[in-house]
Structure 1
């Protein structure tokens, strides 16, 4: 199964194809240590957070770790007291390796802090957490050869701050300084999104600062500034403008080839990574082939995203297994007292711990990425222990969500499809459910930004019937994340009901072609 090939000619399958990962993996930060590449990304209010991915060929990636289990325990991050962190949580990270220690730094407007996580083993941990104020927006962590530690950060006006040796905050006795007054300038004067997404690199004795900016009426654009010293002065130029592929930085292969790793806003599936070749001319990195993103690259072919980035799960665990495979993330901080993979061996049990107003307010929704060009997820649910007012099932999760599953009302269970495109979610179809086990499926069509979601049910896991209507998916800034498949159970009347998910299975095939 080759998810990234899509409808391109078969001959292309011998080479890497853009997008490298057709799934929501934005705000990339990447390093190579020896012959191994590591990459961090943004998953915001999903937990565990700041995923770490590993690759040997720069194309095929596998999740190996997260920097944290939860970022902090605030009401917004916990979905408590009517608050949420949709659109918030941790944003762009910076990944570094220095003198035997791995560093992942990030920041969040949700708490107003900067966070730095350190470990001696990036794949196995454990991670040590440091946090401090102020929040340094879209920063780049840099260890200079003279022993000083810096963060470059900001939007439009790029700042530089020296950090304390123990990374506990800004170095006492120093104050942040303006590094570049207007980092957007190379892209012109009519700027909508001021330059941000700073990533700093040192190549052949010179410093290169990558930023993204967005001219009004134009597209996401890469600006690069160059200097002989980290403190400047910097000279800048517009470096790349094609398909809106922007924000990222530089990586080299062991053979000495160079690439820029960038990403593209691609509708409801999210922000998806592209690589572009880099050549060096007069001390500047020149991105792309004739200034364009190539469809193919002289790198090994893309293989399936399953099970490296997403995975099926039978919920069967051996003694030493982790409770959940790495591709799973909770929507906001989980309530660990109310889910289990051991209470009913071979099943994921989600028990309601409180009454909520909607599926978006409910804790313990367990998610994985959707992926393109097409993807499907199915699950089997035992609903015998639901309580009146409970809703459980499979969701395509974003602000404009849709779900298929079971509602219990007046002592009766109903199979329903709910469309959440409007402010008030609408139940589009219901039917009486006989028995306590049902199979449900959600499909996403992301081809050419079609962004359609379809929902199905089955009583025997063989014959599937469409239910409800088509969800018109939309990437919305209030949530600021690509659509997720999610398993949920929430109570609208009385806490304490539970459902058991027998398995979760994914595919890159959908019913509608």
Structure 2
């Protein structure tokens, strides 16, 4: 009897291991468990490129590269600085959190790559172009107005358009050089109510337009959000770009929506979409597509699958996030592409050469709040759990300075050092309530301290934990658990941030020795 039971257990174990091995060989959804929203994607030969939204971050509109649709690496940005205005520069008490540049459109036409975007901050539409999407250089043109959630489209007859709008979808023809809307033409209403396939009671009208041409037909993807329902994909099709268009509901599952179509060299089709997923942000999914009666049919029996017939993911470090020792060889790129500044940086106030092997952040002015401080250097957090660690040399800090490691969103939290007179203290500050509150401080008698922030996004628990260490080995938790929350004023998943700001006098500096990222956290059960 015992032998039969043992035999059955062995069989069951073998099946579990075989199933786990099978799963390990294939990709799963989400494809990227990090904030990569508003994707626009294309394939050139056997290589895929994807643009995304990072709004108020600089540089902006990241370009990612993949050879399998699953494993992605940031290879470029469309711009270093979107524009030179107070809101983007964090000057005169102004900021542009949650704004900056929004949904981009990525296109390839006659050997040239194009990335277009728009900004409510400036009221402009921007178009960037290059022959080398990975190395540049990029040429930029801009014009007014800002065409909301537009799709740049090069038609077969040589004419260039942007399809855009919210609820009411519009079509504008552009100049041949893309410098603006073609004189003598007016934007036309192409679809009066693009939300109608999702029903009569829609809260968020159809937006996020992405236009494609397949086998001579035009296909327009949009997202809308029925009241009391979920984010929904609609598709309209037409025989000519000006219509008439007929529409249908294309996908309504898990709130996975907004994106478009891409195919593989072997002829398989996928829809790239994203899902709102709490504090980690808006995360990408891939959905298999079949064709029937001239329509793309999304999902498997109308559902978003958990596994995909694609190679397994290898993780995000390096590629989308990465550790950094801040050591640079001569001629090396100053900052790897995984880093972005919160708003436009003041390049005179940060350095990797003033003290080789360290990132030095020097204060250039007095600020009343961390959210207006310049030169916060950021990377994405990612799920299901992640950890960021840094070490800081405090010897250059002045009275009133605060420096450390933060989890950046409107309801932020940070662990760091505050200087008061001649006293240094390790502090934990939480803005969970909407206002920053110092929850704990501990006197510090040494010049170097290690700081750590852990994120737990499992089951959307969205918890942030903060620690410090005097030797980089033994860690002590400090303050309180931060209940992270995705807020629309920031419109972005939480990010790790390294910062130094002055509350009394400018000129102090903090030297960051390292930044290490990990996909494991301390047990907080």
For residue 360 of structure 1, what is the aligned residue in structure 2? 371
* Structure 2 Cα separation of the partners of residues 448 and 9 of structure 1: 21
User: Which residue, 44, 61, 64 being the options, matches 2:55?
Assistant: 44
For residue 435 of structure 2, what is the aligned residue in structure 1? 424
Whether 1:412 and 2:437 are equivalent positions in the alignment is no
For residue 4 of structure 1, what is the aligned residue in structure 2? none
For residue 157 of structure 2, what is the aligned residue in structure 1? 146
Bigger CA drift: 47-56 or 422-431? Answer: 422-431
Q: State how 1:246-325 maps to structure 2 within 5 Å.
A: 246-325=257-336
Whether 1:328 and 2:345 are equivalent positions in the alignment is no
The answer to whether the 8 A contact 2:167-2:206 is kept is yes
Q: Considering only aligned residues, what root-mean-square deviation do their CA atoms show, in Å?
A: 0.8
* Structure 2 Cα separation of the partners of residues 292 and 496 of structure 1: 56
Which portions of structure 1, spanning 4 or more consecutive aligned residues, are displaced by more than 3 angstroms? 8-11
* Structure 2 Cα separation of the partners of residues 13 and 445 of structure 1: 23
* Structure 1 Cα separation of the partners of residues 154 and 475 of structure 2: 56
Whether 1:337 and 2:351 are equivalent positions in the alignment is no
Q: Secondary structure at the match of 1:124?
A: coil
For residue 6 of structure 2, what is the aligned residue in structure 1? none
* Structure 2 Cα separation of the partners of residues 173 and 147 of structure 1: 18
User: Which residue, 491, 516, 522 being the options, matches 1:511?
Assistant: 522
The answer to whether the 8 A contact 2:166-2:206 is kept is yes
For residue 29 of structure 1, what is the aligned residue in structure 2? 40
* Structure 2 Cα separation of the partners of residues 349 and 310 of structure 1: 20
User: Which residue, 253, 260, 265 being the options, matches 1:242?
Assistant: 253
- Structure 2: runs of 5+ lacking an equivalent: 1-18
- Structure 1: runs of 5+ lacking an equivalent: 1-7
C-alpha displacement of 1:427: 0.7
Q: State how 1:92-491 maps to structure 2 within 5 Å.
A: 92-491=103-502
* Structure 2 Cα separation of the partners of residues 171 and 503 of structure 1: 51
The answer to whether the 8 A contact 2:410-2:434 is kept is no
C-alpha displacement of 1:9: 4.4
TM-score (norm 1): 0.98
C-alpha displacement of 1:268: 0.2
Q: State how 1:72-111 maps to structure 2 within 5 Å.
A: 72-111=83-122
TM-score (norm 2): 0.96
Give per-residue Cα distances to partners, 1:171-211, cap 9 Å, x unaligned: 01111100100000000110000000000001111110000
Give per-residue Cα distances to partners, 1:220-257, cap 9 Å, x unaligned: 00000000111111000000000000000000000000
Give per-residue Cα distances to partners, 1:450-494, cap 9 Å, x unaligned: 000000000111111101100000000000000000000000010
Give per-residue Cα distances to partners, 1:269-302, cap 9 Å, x unaligned: 0000000000000000000011111010000001
* Structure 1 Cα separation of the partners of residues 400 and 137 of structure 2: 41
* Structure 1 Cα separation of the partners of residues 184 and 177 of structure 2: 15
